[in-house]
């Protein structure tokens, strides 16, 4: 059983003529009579990306392949969430260089083989996990 204590019964705040309402008590089962407000989803504004410094490309082909894999996974995450990329995410995406470079493509996607060369397996698996067979 719930009780409401009248703290203002003998003061000007009592408002006995208009029955001033001071709020609901919790229900018998302990739940709030008014559902809590749900927070609004954060919406990132569309921001054109402008490089203000060096792109920060990695020195080695293997690290550039890792950066490509990170950018692919991030883009998939952004598209699935149907949101815009934040400024730090735009920097990650700007490091995607594609796979047309000879050494990068030949190490990661050797001709006649379905698997990357030894030492490149982790990167190949990361790309495979973030893409469909068609992609």
Q: State the pLDDT at residue 105.
A: 81
- Is 33 within a domain? no
Predicted pLDDT of residue 71: 95
Cα–Cα distance list, 7 to 1, 27, 116 (Å): 19, 21, 76
In a domain, 3, yes or no: no
Task: State the helix-helix crossing angle for 87-94 and 61-81, rounded to 10 degrees.
Answer: 140
Q: Is residue 104 part of a domain?
A: yes
Q: Which domain holds residue 122?
A: 61-131
pLDDT at 59: 92
pLDDT of residue 66: 94
Mean pLDDT of residues grouped by 10 in the chain (135 residues)? Answer: 57 57 57 61 75 86 93 94 91 90 77 76 88 84
Q: How many domains does the chain have?
A: 1
From 34, 12, 16, 15, select the one nearest 24 (Cα to Cα).
Answer: 34
Has residue 41 been placed in a domain? no
Task: Give the pLDDT score at 17.
Answer: 58
């Amino acid at each position: 059983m719930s009780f409401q204590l009248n703290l203002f019964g003998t003061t000007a705040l009592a408002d006995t003529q208009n029955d001033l309402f001071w709020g609901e008590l919790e229900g018998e089962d302990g739940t709030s009579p008014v559902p809590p407000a749900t927070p609004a989803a954060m919406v990132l504004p569309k921001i054109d990306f402008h490089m203000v410094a060096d792109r920060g490309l990695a020195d080695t082909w293997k690290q550039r392949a890792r950066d490509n894999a990170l950018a692919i996974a991030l883009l998939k995450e952004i598209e699935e969430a149907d949101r815009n990329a934040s400024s730090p995410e735009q920097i990650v995406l700007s490091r995607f260089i594609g796979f047309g470079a000879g050494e990068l493509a030949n190490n990661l996607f050797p001709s006649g083989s379905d698997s990357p060369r030894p030492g490149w397996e982790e990167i190949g698996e990361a790309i495979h996990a973030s893409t469909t067979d068609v992609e």
